[in-house]
Amino acid sequence: MNILNEWAFVGLFAVMAPVFPALPIVIAWLFRPRKPNVLKSSTYECGVETIGDTWVQFRVQYYIYGLIFLVFDVEMVFLFPWAVAYNEMSLFGFVAGFLFIFLLTDALFYAWKKNALDWK
């Protein structure tokens, strides 16, 4: 299969993949009872009406984890080509990748020392 055909397959797969779960939902939509009322379609909490808005700003700890993750996510994307080329690489290329990992591990230890990894 040439490369265009390969990606056509993946593209078609991506289009079809949501169709599979959509089918039973649509079939259920044909059969299911419809008796909505105000109480039923109100937000579920503990029996009383909810107080306050849900869509609010949230604690910052989640955001910090997100930031640290971003550093590593980018690092990993760069490491994949390095890993693929590993067998043909000279010692120099290997050490270059090594330094790259080292620099980002450094960032992890910085975050660790700054207590960014502690759940507060």
Partner 1 sequence: MDELCTGLCRLMVDSGADAGLAQFLSLLVGVLLVSGVPLLTVILLIWIERKVAARIQDRIGPNRVGPIGLMQTFADLLKLLGKEDITPTSADRWLYNAAPLVSFASVVLIWAVVPFTPFHYGVDLEIGALFFVAVASFGTLAIMVAGWASNNKYALLGAFRVVSLLVSYEVPLVFALLVPVLLAGSMSMLDIVNAQTGMWFVVLSPLAFVIFYVSSQAETGRAPFDLIEAESELVAGFNIEYSGMKFGMFFAAEFLHVFTNGILMALLFFGGWLGPLYYESPLIAFAWLGLKGGVIYLTTLWLRNTVPRLRIDQIMAFNWKFLVPLSIANLIFISAALKVMQEIGWAPRDMIGAGFGELVPTTVVLLLINGAMIIYLLGILRKRGQEARRESQATRAALAHAAADQGAA
Q: Which residues bind partner 1 (CB under 8 A)?
A: 1, 5-6, 8-10, 12-14, 16-18, 20-22, 24-25, 27-29, 31-36, 40-45, 50, 54-55, 58, 61-62, 65-66, 68-69, 72-73, 76-77, 79-80, 83-89, 91, 94, 97-98, 101, 105, 108, 112, 117-119
Our measurement of the distance from residue 95's CA atom to the centroid of its chain's CA atoms, rounded to an integer in Å, reads 30
| Residue 59 DSSP code | -
Shortest distance in whole angstroms from residue 59 CB to partner 1: 8
Q: 120 is written with which tokens? A: 């507060």
Shortest distance in whole angstroms from residue 6 CB to partner 1: 5
Shortest distance in whole angstroms from residue 53 CB to partner 1: 9
Are 104 and 72 contacting, i.e. CB atoms less than 8 angstroms apart? yes
Handedness of CA 48, 54, 58, 63 (dihedral sign): positive
